Amino acid sequence: MNDRLFVDTNVLIRVFEGDEAAIALTDDQVVHVSVVTEMEMQCKPHQSADERAIIQEMLRECVVIELSASIKQWAIRILRATRLKLLDAVVAASAIELALPLLTGDEKFSSVK
């Protein structure tokens, strides 16, 4: 198994919720996430202080990939070629830039080659 992977927001949400399959897929992996995922995980309305603390701890264990010029260019190419939304294109572009497999529960990413 690859020891590094790029994870979409929906996978981190499943890990947070205790989904055993998501936990097993990310266990013993160096998990990379986009800055977009980092932000999305922290902006759900009505998060308790305990939930925010758990999410922040999860994110500290991830490698957060900032938005670089190269990732922006990949995202632009993806947006021109697919019907992905901007934030999803940034996630896909980040995984492409790092040449890492993207773990997601969202089928819309299948449009990215």
Q: What is the token pair recorded at 27?
A: 């266990």
Q: What is the token pair recorded at 78?
A: 């993806």
Residue-wise pLDDT tens digits, 71-85? 999 999 999 999 899
Query: Around Cβ 67, how many Cβ atoms within 10 Å?
Result: 14
Residue-wise pLDDT tens digits, 46-103? 999 999 999 999 999 999 999 999 999 999 999 999 989 999 999 999 999 999 999 9
Q: Helix 86-98 to helix 69-81 angle, to the nearest 10 degrees?
A: 120
Task: Identify the CA nearest to 58 among candidates 86, 93, 23.
Answer: 23
Residue-wise pLDDT tens digits, 9-45? 999 999 999 999 999 999 999 999 999 999 999 998 8
All domains in the chain, ordered by first residue: 4-107 (3.40.50.1010)
Q: Contact at 8 Å (CB) between 84 and 108?
A: yes
Write down the pLDDT at residue 110: 76
